[in-house]
Amino acid sequence: MAVLFQTGLGVSIETEFLSVVYLKASFRKVKLEAQAVYQLPAEKTLEERMTVARNMIRTFLERNHILSTDIYLSIPRNLAVLRYVELPLAVKENLRESLGYEMEKYTPFSADDVHFDCQIISEDRKAGTMKLFLVAAERDAVGPYTGLCEGLETRISGMEISSTALASYFSHSGTFAPGASSVVLYMAGGRMEVDLFRDNLLWYSHQVEVAQDGSDLSAVMQCELELLAKKLDEGKDKLPVVFFGPRFDDSLFTCPGGEDMFEIRRPDLSDGRIPSHELMPAYGCALKAIQKIPMDINLLPVGLRKKPGKTGYYTMLLLGGLLVLSLLSWGGGMIVREQLDLKRLNAQIEQLRVKVADVEKMRMRCGKLEKQIDSLNNLGGSSVPVLNVLRDLSNIIPQSTWVNRFSISGSDVNIEGYAQSASKLITPLEESPIFGDVAFLSAIMKTRDGKERFRIGLKIKR
């Protein structure tokens, strides 16, 4: 869903051209306010092309009277390394840190030499694994792009590769059937990328160089589709393949040897969303400023990003507040307040009723446990009464901690349970004159409700 009145500027930079798209969210849809495609001098250095691109963006902003907006940038696919990685679900909480430690395992770079981002695209709860989409770009290679807006009195909000920007465009355009797999061949200058989209996510991406005049395009397309076919298991249905490029002829829409796997289609831009395929990545980038998108990749470090604009949010809050005030005035403020108070009191009563029932159950359980402990103490004649140990633990452990398992053997005590912060239990136990040799017996596990499961061992000081 688009954020009302929010705007976004998408910029896509290729070696030969620069495309810019300016979008605005209205009540009913996302509207294309302005667009442009500029030629870049391919023979010049990257730094020189960035200077030219910066001036073109400045001209675009001035010509369209754009004073403030969020800018998202798309860079060529060949500047990044893409990997699909399978990891245990256990590392989900510290995913970026785990990838940083093993970056050299998945890419030819160390974590200090790259800008990277990742996204979970599937999870297997039974197997305890997840499939991860990893994008990494060398810092030196993308450094000139991160400084694109220097001198424009603004910062870039995000940076991604053209493949993920295309995923955003197609998820918004409705080009492909929901839930189905589709292949896009996107040609820009002397490169062509082959992208497989499924459920609006990028499941495969490969880039290949092609001749500038397109003389080898048919052969390259056939080779790439054959390579993709070996990796797929899509059943009997043919996969739709759409080619977006500057050159079209009938030879491009045949697939020798792959007729049973692919259905080559001509591109269709008749919906009027954009006038040319060069604007697709820029359009996908601009969408990130307006609505939530399936492929949320941002290679720009947090410290270099522009803080998100809040104009649209504040406008919606203001309109919502005015609407609420109007409703309260129309319906009678006093009646509404009384109904709200009554609902709040009823909710509190229900909460207290549940808590009272829990306390009663806990009290009965404690009574049974005390009787069992007394029986054990009487039978064993233990030099260390179990009830005393429990009472000492109850005085030390915070009330927010839940102990669901307790065992004692001689002077050895084991406790298991749940706490807001298990690591904070060690210090008070160690400082106690009663216990010593306090240590975790297993790793701390995070539960779904945010608590930490612990298992601690300690000894009773005689």
| Segment 240-296, tens digit of pLDDT | 888 887 655 555 555 555 556 677 777 777 777 888 888 999 999 999 999 888 899
Distances (CA, A) of 104 to 90, 205, 374, 380, 393: 21, 21, 59, 59, 46
Cβ contacts of residue 438 below 8 Å, gap of 6+?
Answer: 426, 429, 430, 456, 457, 458
Q: Are residues 38 and 123 in the same domain?
A: yes
| The pLDDT of residue 253 | 56
58 located within any domain: yes
The answer to whether residue 235 scores a pLDDT higher than 90 is no
Q: Are residues 298 and 447 in the same domain?
A: no
CATH code (residue 421): 3.30.1360.100
Q: Mean pLDDT throughout 76-100? A: 92
Q: Are residues 402 and 307 in the same domain?
A: no
Tokens 């990742």, located at residue: 118
Q: Are residues 65 and 29 in the same domain?
A: yes
224 located within any domain: no
13 located within any domain: yes
The answer to whether residue 103 scores a pLDDT higher than 80 is yes
| The pLDDT of residue 36 | 95
367 located within any domain: yes
Q: Mean pLDDT throughout 366-385? A: 67
User: SS3 sequence, the chain?
Assistant: CCCCCCEEEEEEECCCEEEEEEEEECCCCEEEEEEEEEECCCCCCHHHHHHHHHHHHHHHHHHCCCCCCEEEEEECHHHEEEEEEEEEHHHHHHHHHHHHHCHHHHCCCCHHHEEEEEEEEEEECCCCEEEEEEEEEEHHHHHHHHCCCCCCCCCEEEEEEHHHHHHHHHHHHCCCCCCCEEEEEEEECCEEEEEEEECCEEEEEEEEECCCCCCCHHHHHHHHHHHHHHHCCCCCCCEEEEEECCCCCHHHHCCCCCCCCEEEECCCCCCCCCCCHHHHHHHHHHHCCCCCCCCCCCCCCHHHCCCCCCHHHHHHHHHHHHHHHHHHHHHCHHHHHHHHHHHHHHHHHHHHHHHHHHHHHHHHHHHHHHHHHHHHHHHHCCCCCHHHHHHHHHHHCCCCCEEEEEEEECCEEEEEEEECCHHHHHHHHHHCCCEEEEEECCCCEECCCCCEEEEEEEEECC
One-letter amino acid for residue 161 of the chain: I
Q: Mean pLDDT throughout 417-437? A: 87
| The pLDDT of residue 91 | 92
CB neighbours of residue 198 within 10 Å: 16
Q: Mean pLDDT throughout 296-316? A: 75
| The pLDDT of residue 247 | 58
The answer to whether residue 234 scores a pLDDT higher than 60 is no
The answer to whether residue 100 scores a pLDDT higher than 80 is yes
| The pLDDT of residue 274 | 87
| The pLDDT of residue 72 | 95
296 located within any domain: yes
Residue 364 belongs to domain spanning: 332-381
Q: Are residues 346 and 308 in the same domain?
A: no
Tokens of 368: 């049974």
Q: Are residues 407 and 282 in the same domain?
A: no
Q: Are residues 404 and 280 in the same domain?
A: no
Q: Are residues 42 and 114 in the same domain?
A: yes
**The total number of residues written for the chain in this structure:** 462
| The pLDDT of residue 11 | 96
Strand 452-460 relative to strand 412-419: parallel, antiparallel, unpaired? antiparallel
The answer to whether residue 307 scores a pLDDT higher than 90 is no
| The pLDDT of residue 316 | 64
Strand 7-13 relative to strand 70-75: parallel, antiparallel, unpaired? parallel
Q: What is the pLDDT of residues 116-138, one digit of tens each?
A: 999 999 999 999 999 999 999 99
| The pLDDT of residue 214 | 67
305 located within any domain: yes
pLDDT confidence of 84, banded at 50, 70, 90? very high
The answer to whether residue 353 scores a pLDDT higher than 80 is yes
pLDDT confidence of 392, banded at 50, 70, 90? confident
Query: For the chain, what is the domain count?
Result: 3
Angle of helix 333-380 versus helix 311-331 axis, rounded to 10? 110
Q: Are residues 282 and 397 in the same domain?
A: no
Q: Of 262, 291, 317, which residue sits at a domain end?
A: 317
232 located within any domain: no
| The pLDDT of residue 271 | 74
228 located within any domain: no
CA-nearest of 302, 232, 290 to 262 is: 232
Q: Are residues 164 and 65 in the same domain?
A: yes
Q: What is the pLDDT of residues 38-76, one digit of tens each?
A: 999 989 999 999 999 999 999 999 999 998 899 999 999
Q: Are residues 366 and 388 in the same domain?
A: no
The answer to whether residue 312 scores a pLDDT higher than 70 is no
Q: What is the pLDDT of residues 407-423, one digit of tens each?
A: 888 888 999 999 888 88
Q: What pTM value is reported for the model?
A: 0.65
| The pLDDT of residue 227 | 84
| The pLDDT of residue 138 | 94
The answer to whether residue 360 scores a pLDDT higher than 90 is no
Q: Are residues 296 and 339 in the same domain?
A: no
pLDDT: which is higher, 440 or 250: 440
User: What phi, psi does 365 have (nearest 5°)?
Assistant: -65, -40
Cα dihedral sign, 60-61-66-68: positive
Distance CA(459)–CA(462), nearest Å, equals: 9
